[in-house]
Structure 1
């Protein structure tokens, strides 16, 4: 009896082991394809290529709160680059930003009037401590008024190709919070709007054009006007016990945001082993949750994707490896991709990608031929990478997945006049013979 019970117990354990192996799988790339992000909208983007690797309601325009300040940061960097201001330029605080700084509900750094502040100190208070008054002071310095600065913000948004955006002030506060100081040209009940996709694209441009911005956004705490100010990005290496729980290796930016309308949002970025991602979560439930959801997004990117060269430079399709050439010393020219095609893909999915060629019809004659002379490296068409799996989210910028140029691999010189004449004579008699043959055939048909 004991032997039978022991045998049954062994069998039961074996079944449990099998069931465990079936149902308790490691958290693999396949499992993560249904990543559950607890936010109204979210996106994860490869910072090198702009490839979107995850998106949730990413085109929904929502109030971004202080994530708006990334655009103000960009315009400050641009003004410095163009020589309009420098880090050492000083300015004083007008009544408008002073009133914002004196309002305890905005938790400002406590700006003082009749005091010179450098652009550097104002920028650090804005980028590190998300201070609103210093943001307004910078907007006024650059454009003369916040209303004029808002025009610059919207123009830059259009130039960047942000798909869903509306800027009505430089800070991300609701205009209703500004009292009578809401910027000229806007309405008192308006607020800024960005989609997660637009916020990620704005961050992409800031990092790409001014990578030094990360040197400031990565500072956990600093001194301002005799006081310590802290970064609201808790995923940095803070020195307090409470904040250490949010630390995430590689995070060095960018901007948090909170208002009653916006909820808790965060545009973050992290780099590990040369791979950088930009993440956005909007309208999460709490301050802690925005960092937890960001960590979940970044883990998904780092754990499940790797940048892979899918097609090398010089790649050829078997049935489209050459193009006929008219009036050349050679009848055909070899063609291939002009550059390597690389971006992050889920591990073991390289076989899910193929490539298609499209020749530039404007460069072909009526017979679909190139006309000599053809120079090595001439662009003769473009290629498109096709993903045959699920959830291809595309790129953060329109057209960033192309064009992949198809180029001529060698030069083909134009044939000399004698050979062209012989060819023309040959073509004439060939056409004449064909016409005659068709005529004779018609007589007997």
Structure 2
């Protein structure tokens, strides 16, 4: 009986020890994810809230993820009427030669043949066809050299400060048979950080969501019914019905070169939630890069985002700050004016972290003099902003620093006092100052 009791107690102690050791390790693993890639990032596509980041600010090769910028410039040109979908492109010697290199992703383009921009775009978006991409670049800008200038100019406009484009496709310049854009190196390649790639993907989806109508096509035949018919199977095999299918995936762009490794910008939507994931130079558990490795890494990011996060209202509209519900007013009929948050702040957070965030008020100092705001003041006047900060633990912030904030406004009108009232205030202020000065003088005598 004694032995049984001792055995039971020993097993109980061991169970408690196992719980205290195993559970924290599981939590740590969930937090770190340990994505096997040189860089990774997961973002809420709606708000730009970063849910996970791993070496996300390092500049790395992006390969054919480059084509998201080419797609953006194409949609912009069409929107502005500079290019049309049925416009025809006449194949140049450059695009003809590149299209015949079957080591690269390509559809065959015939010398002196004409192709519609819609055909070239579908080949680019579905099959990552490189010569077709160059054809689009030449159509928009005349030469790929000029198009690269537009790409870098747009990158600066978007705040992609670590981006460097040397061609329109993402290929290593060494694959362009000596015809790479002037001013770029013979073996240069496009680079960007995972953060910037995610930002580019979000901007593309925000401004031209119709891109998904093409990127979600798993398979299409180029020039069907002709001798050049080419079966274009989407390189994104996370699409429904494909090898690495994941529920909700409908884009966006793969990328593979020796320099960039196996990379992917994926997007998936479930319910009202859309996520963007970027993995760069993904490898398997043996350190070998592969198509499967990049999709496994993306799957891990999506699983983490969809299972661990939800959109929560952190700060409601009309919220007033403790100790700062109003601002003192000078030269007004009232001595103070109430202030409150204009719009609610909602964002994706770990479901368990809702109480870990607190609002922080940042007043506009340019409107205040010695902490006071001068009348007249209209209702709804912006006097500052509110952001939310995590009280403890890591928070990755937003792709755009301006996101995750709301304006703080006045909730009432305060009219300016008339000249008599202002005169009396001035007199009161004068005697008040005089009295204070006298008291200070008398105190100084003792």
| Pair in the same fold by TM > 0.5 | yes
Is the 1:29–1:347 Cα contact (8 Å) retained in structure 2? no
* Corresponding residue number in structure 1 for 2:83: 85
1:288-299 correspondence runs (5 A): 288-299=292-303
- The answer to whether 1:340 aligns with 2:338 is no
- Structure 2 counterpart SS, 1:389: coil
Structure 1 residues 232-286: Cα deviation after superposition (integer angstroms, max 9, x where no partner): 0000023xxxx43x11001111000111111100010111111111101011121
- How far did residue 437 of structure 1 move? 3.8
Alpha-carbon distance in structure 1 between the residues aligned to 2:325 and 2:426: 27
* Corresponding residue number in structure 2 for 1:176: 174
* Corresponding residue number in structure 1 for 2:286: none
Is the 1:63–1:193 Cα contact (8 Å) retained in structure 2? yes
Which of 151, 154, 174 does residue 152 from structure 2 map onto? 154
* Corresponding residue number in structure 2 for 1:424: 426
Q: CA RMSD in A?
A: 2.1
Give the TM-score normalised by structure 1: 0.92
- How far did residue 425 of structure 1 move? 2.2
Are residues 89 and 358 of structure 1, via their aligned partners in 2, closer, same or farther at CA, if it must alter by over 3 Å? same
- How far did residue 22 of structure 1 move? 5.2
- Structure 2 counterpart SS, 1:205: helix
1:29-428 correspondence runs (5 A): 31-226=29-224, 227=229, 228-238=231-241, 243-244=242-243, 246-284=244-282, 285-365=289-369, 367-402=370-405, 404-428=406-430
- How far did residue 109 of structure 1 move? 1.1
* Structure 2 portions without partners, runs of 5+: 283-288
Alpha-carbon distance in structure 2 between the residues aligned to 1:259 and 1:425: 78
Alpha-carbon distance in structure 2 between the residues aligned to 1:212 and 1:132: 21
Are residues 22 and 440 of structure 1, via their aligned partners in 2, closer, same or farther at CA, if it must alter by over 3 Å? closer
- Structure 2 counterpart SS, 1:282: strand
* Structure 1 portions without partners, runs of 5+: none
Alpha-carbon distance in structure 1 between the residues aligned to 2:414 and 2:26: 51
Structure 1 residues 399-437: Cα deviation after superposition (integer angstroms, max 9, x where no partner): 3344x3221111111112222222222222323333344
Is the 2:63–2:256 Cα contact (8 Å) retained in structure 1? yes
Structure 1 residues 158-192: Cα deviation after superposition (integer angstroms, max 9, x where no partner): 00001321000000000111122101221212111
Is the 1:354–1:386 Cα contact (8 Å) retained in structure 2? yes
Structure 1 residues 283-310: Cα deviation after superposition (integer angstroms, max 9, x where no partner): 1121111000000011111111111110
- Structure 2 counterpart SS, 1:320: coil
The size of the alignment, in residue pairs, is: 435
- Structure 1 counterpart SS, 2:176: helix
Alpha-carbon distance in structure 2 between the residues aligned to 1:181 and 1:10: 78
Alpha-carbon distance in structure 2 between the residues aligned to 1:347 and 1:378: 34
Is the 1:68–1:192 Cα contact (8 Å) retained in structure 2? yes
Shifted more, 64-73 versus 355-364: the winner is 355-364
Alpha-carbon distance in structure 1 between the residues aligned to 2:213 and 2:24: 37
Is the 1:64–1:262 Cα contact (8 Å) retained in structure 2? yes
Structure 1 residues 213-242: Cα deviation after superposition (integer angstroms, max 9, x where no partner): 11111111112112321100000023xxxx
Alpha-carbon distance in structure 1 between the residues aligned to 2:188 and 2:41: 25
Give the TM-score normalised by structure 2: 0.92
